[in-house]
Structure 1
Amino acid sequence: MAWGTGVWATGAWAQTAWPERPVRVIVPFPASGATDLVARVITQRVAQDLGQQMVVENRPGAGGTRGATEAARARADGYTLLLTTSSTHAISPHLVPRLAYDAGQDFTPVAHLADAPSVLLVTPSLPVQSMAELIAYGKAHPGQLNYASSGNGTIVHLNGAAFAAQAGMEMTHVPYKGTALAIPDLVSGQVHLLFDALPTGMPHVRSGRLRALAVTSPKRSALAPELPTLAESGLPGYSSVTWFGLYLPAGAAPALVERIHKAFAQAMQAPDVLAHLAKLGLEPAAPTTPAQFAAMVQADSERWAGVIRQYRITPE
């Protein structure tokens, strides 16, 4: 990654002034969840590199928007960071009425850290072995297929809706309170499809209980390299991951943003961090600038806004 010398020359203070005390990292989701685990793995390495404590604080509630709101209202001095996902910045702004923050205006993007692709699972009783066969079957049986999700408005729900729209299939959404609760019904054939996280979905595939057809990421996943992407399986351009990213409150000085960006980018290159992320089913994001991260989030937000409008998706 190239780092601009001009920023460093004008912001030399940021190299020495930050961090002078412990840094609070808000995670807007519960402890032991994926975002919390990602935060603790990465910030532990950052703290080690910087010689300063990074304190992860879980602020769950309202689909992550409660913690994001708290972060947005903090001072932009580098001592409150938000480590979050696409849920708070690309999905909730289009789902939650009267959201207490503006995802585009109330934060300073810092770093795109990692991505979590999903896998398209189908019940073994469905007579399909590939994406092409699934799409053909769905078109031949309009309205007869259904897909499970972890709840209304979740990324799992949106993945299914986006898939149905692009494939030209008419399917029924069946929400559950978590994908784990949907698995028994998927195995028995009461529901037909589910977009699940790779680490939780693939054990059911390898045991023979379910069938995997493709992954949602733009390229094949190292966790299941034998599976094609949806994009190469008849849905050109289909790409969906849950991204994990770092933000400061709005108004942060550019030199401070660059300083924190560099610290986290360095941590993301550590072998122990990469190994931990792989165990969680995550792929490190390609090196990007804060501006490139912001552009990616904007494109992701616009995509989900279209899906939410088309299917009139609500949180309830």
Structure 2
Amino acid sequence: MQHATSLALPAPSRTLCLSGLRRWAGLLAGAAALAAAPLASHAAYPEKAVQVIISFPPAGATDVLARAVGAALSKELGQPIVVENRPGAGGAIGLAAAAKAPADGYTMYLAAITNQAIAASVYAKQPASLIEDFEPVGGVGAVPHALVVPAGLPVKDLAGLVEYLKQAPGKHNFASQGTGTLSHLESELFLLKTGTQALHIPYKGSSQALPELVNGSAAMMFDSIPGSMPLVQGGKLRYLAVASSRRVSLLPDVPTVAESGVPGFEADNWFGFSAPKGTPQAAIDIFSAALQKVLAQPELQQQLGKQGAELRYLPPAELDALIRQEHETWAGVVKSANVQVQ
């Protein structure tokens, strides 16, 4: 019996050793899983809906752009893109909401860059900065404005308008979408560069300004192409030039302001995606790559081209440079024109 017992003792010992090895293997596997977890989460981005905040109400140029590009991005990324309109305070409400959102890759801000650059100089106190509080993700392109005049105004081109204004300095008006908007500052820049004078009459958006322009209450206005197009097609208004640095594909026969004899005039009305400061670089890279793909889609280009949009992808570094340049450019215009918000 003693011999049998001595032979039986090694078996439990071997069992304990195997059990211990299994426990160590389990611990090592768990550690490896934890170490790989961040990589897995990055690789799976996005795992849920991505919110896109904009600073303007529905149906405007920013909203149309956000929803069309967002729908294409949703297909590319495999997750919903939810557009949230946060208008007010010259764009500051939406900007602040996006800046304060969690920096986890699931909130993006589609900035109307040129408008935001103007607001940064016009409004003394801003709750957030597009330069300091965000990471650039990718440029989307531009939705240019055009210079329109009443059809009954006795001018046929931009040179004629300049001469018309110079014949009666300060006796004519120009309309805008509101004080401190791009529509306002484009006109101020135009007056500065042409040495002409006109009185500013601000309205609450294009829907109020355009009918007054048709009635002759103002001699000119810079407005979005989608907003003014129906009245131009109806023979009520006339395009003289586009504000962008190059001609718009929707209006190939309409020259730029610079081409029409005002060198240095350029207002492209840029748009681009930014993310709250601290957003993981992996999320920015994935979103930016998807954006580049969808902006190259002919169907999306055609769809938004009918709205006057000129789609053009800009990588993060180029977008960052553009944002800084736009802030510098429009700060100079605001200062020169002595624009003040009442």
Q: Could you tell me the TM-score, scaled by structure 1's length?
A: 0.90
| Corresponding position of 2:318 | 292
The answer as to whether partners of 2:48 and 2:79 remain within 8 angstroms in 1 is: yes
Deviates more, 1:153-162 or 1:196-205: 196-205
Worse-matched range after superposition: 200-209 or 259-268: 200-209
The one of 209, 214, 224 equivalent to 2:251 is 224
**Pick aligned residue for 1:192 from 199, 202, 219:** 219
TM-score by length of 2: 0.83
Could you tell me which residue of structure 2 aligns to residue 80 of structure 1?
A: 107
Deviations 1:197-224 (A, max 9, x none): 1122233223222222111111111111
- Counterpart of 1:5? none
Provide Cα deviations, 1:257-305, integer angstroms capped at 9, x if missing partner.
Answer: 22211111111122332232123221102x3221111111211111211
CA distance in 2, matches of 1:262, 1:97: 36
Give the drift of 1:241: 2.4
- Give ranges in structure 1 of 5+ residues lacking alignment: 1-10
**Could you tell me how far apart the structure 2 residues matched to 1:198 and 1:66 are?**
26
State whether structure 2 residue 330 is matched by structure 1 residue 304.
yes
Q: CA RMSD in A?
A: 2.0
Where 1:241 maps in the other structure, the secondary structure is: coil
SS of the residue 2:304 aligns to:
helix
Moved more, 153-162 or 249-258: 249-258
Q: Would the alpha carbon gap of residues 14 and 83 (structure 1) be closer, same or farther in structure 2, given more than 3 Å must change? A: farther
Q: Higher mean Cα deviation, 140-149 or 159-168?
A: 140-149
Distance 1:213 1:68 in 2: 34
Closer/same/farther in 2, CA of residues 121 and 33 from structure 1, 3 Å limit: closer
The Cα offsets for residues 110-132 of structure 1, whole Å up to 9 and x where unpaired, read as 11112111111112343221111
Give the C-alpha shift of residue 13 in structure 1: 6.4
Which of 154, 170, 173 in structure 1 is aligned with 2:181? 154
Cα distance change on mapping 1:207 and 1:93 into 2, 3 Å: same
Is the aligned partner of 1:102 residue 2:129? yes
Q: Secondary structure at the match of 2:239?
A: strand
Partners of 1:135 and 1:282 lie apart in 2 by: 27
Unaligned runs of 5+ in 2: 1-37
AA of the residue aligned to 1:310? S
User: Do 1:121 and 1:195's aligned partners in 2 also have CA atoms closer than 8 Å?
Assistant: yes
Could you tell me which amino acid in structure 2 is paired with residue 314 of structure 1? Q
Q: Which structure has greater helix proportion?
A: 2
| DSSP 3-state at the match of 1:101 | coil
After superposition, the Cα gap between the structure-2 partners of 1:206 and 1:33, relative to the gap in structure 1 and judged at 3 Å, is closer
1:178 alignment counterpart: 205
- State the one-letter code of the partner of 1:190: S
Residue 269 of structure 1 pairs with residue 302 of structure 2: no
Pair 1:61 & 2:120 matched: no
